[in-house]
Amino acid sequence: MEIRHCVFVMGPPGSGKTSTWYTLAKAFEKAGSKTMYVDLDPKVVLTKDLYGYTLPSKEWKDGLLSKLLRTYSEMEDTNTKWILLDGDLDANWIESMNSVMDDNKILTLANNERIPLKPHMRMIFEIRDLRFATPATVSRAGILYISDDSGY
Q: Which domains does the chain have, with CATH numbers?
A: 10-145 (3.40.50.300)
Q: Tell me the whole-structure pTM to 2 decimals.
A: 0.90
pLDDT at 151 over 70: no
Among 30-39, 41-50, 142-151, the least confident range? 142-151
120-134 pLDDT, tens digit each: 999 999 999 998 888
* Dihedral angle computed from the Cα positions of residues 56, 43, 97 and 29, in that order, rounded to the nearest 10 degrees: 120
